[in-house]
């Protein structure tokens, strides 16, 4: 059963469905190693980030096991009771959004949100942004994923922009960030070194907003989100062993 090119509509789910079908049908046997991410992307005619999202969804289902430094192995070959799709009937549910696709959208939207914040931020807004950054530092110092501080930082910037629709958009990004796909991806690519890098990038965003420099705020937010995307799409071999 050859792999088939898929159409770009909730792409990671379609990819996951094809790979799952190949495992259930015996094309990929129990315990066997799947083709490399880049090879799957070529065969399916899709991007590597889309393949990564599909593999993470299959891991959440328990169909595959990612062994960092070794490869991705078939863990189960029977069809699960239900595939990963906590809200398959509603493609607008943030928990079902692909993590890397979300990060691409954030790069476009939140750069402009930061520029708006640099234009409109008041003292109370700056205080809230600083509080989010401080919370990140405290969480990291406790060896915790600085997620709550990160969310507070970005939401405070959106609040400072003065546009309720953009604030709601940023909040929905964070609903996706707390979903199972993002959580599992973070298990591989979030670690103390990445936290410290993110904190430094946030510091630069804060400085630009404090200076009321929209251009600098836009650029520093773009840099931060590009680096975050790179961290989440790094080679599996660079992920710490679990």
- Residue 86's pLDDT is 46
SS3 content of the chain, % helix, strand, coil (to 5): 65, 5, 30
Number of domains present in the structure of the chain:
2
In the DSSP assignment, the letter for residue 237 is G
- Residue 89's pLDDT is 39
Please name the residues in contact with 174: beta carbons below 8 A apart, sequence gap of 6 or more.
151, 154, 155
Provide the CATH number for the domain around residue 116: 1.20.120.530
Provide the CATH number for the domain around residue 62: 1.10.10.10
Residues 99 and 212 in one domain: yes
- Residue 103's pLDDT is 94
- Residue 88's pLDDT is 44
Residue 63: which domain range? Answer: 11-74
Q: Is the dihedral of CA 66, 67, 72, 74 positive or negative?
A: negative
Nearest to 71 by CA among 38, 42, 99, 27: 38
**Phi, then psi, of 85 in degrees rounded to 5:** -175, 75
- How far separated are the first and last CA of the chain, in Å rounded? 33
Round to whole Å and give the CA distance between 29 and 10. 26
Low-confidence ranges of the chain (pLDDT < 70): 1-9, 80-92, 235-242
Residues 156 and 192 in one domain: yes
CB 16 within 8 A of CB 58: yes
Residues 101 and 208 in one domain: yes
Within a domain: 82: no
């Amino acid at each position: 059963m050859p792999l088939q090119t898929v159409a770009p509509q909730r792409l990671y789910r379609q990819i996951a469905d094809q790979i799952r079908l190949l495992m259930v049908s015996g094309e990929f046997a129990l315990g066997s190693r799947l083709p490399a991410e880049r090879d799957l992307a070529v065969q399916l005619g899709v991007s590597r980030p889309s393949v990564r999202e599909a593999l993470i969804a299959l891991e959440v289902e328990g169909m595959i096991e990612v062994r960092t430094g070794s490869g991705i192995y078939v863990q189960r070959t029977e069809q699960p009771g239900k595939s990963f799709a906590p809200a398959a009937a509603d493609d607008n549910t943030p928990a079902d959004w692909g993590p890397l696709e979300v990060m691409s959208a954030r790069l476009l939207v939140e750069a402009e949100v930061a520029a708006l914040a640099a234009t409109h931020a008041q003292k109370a807004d700056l205080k809230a942004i600083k509080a989010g950054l401080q919370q990140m530092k405290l969480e990291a110092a406790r060896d915790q994923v600085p997620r709550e501080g990160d969310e507070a930082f970005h939401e405070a910037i959106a609040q400072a922009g003065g546009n309720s629709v953009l604030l709601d958009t940023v909040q929905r990004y964070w609903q996706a960030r707390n979903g199972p796909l993002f959580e599992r991806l973070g298990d591989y690519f979030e670690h103390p070194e990445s936290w410290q890098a993110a904190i430094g990038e946030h510091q630069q965003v804060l400085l630009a907003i404090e200076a009321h420099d929209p251009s600098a705020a836009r650029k520093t937010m773009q840099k931060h989100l590009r680096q975050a995307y790179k961290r989440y799409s790094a080679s599996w071999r660079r992920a710490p062993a679990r």
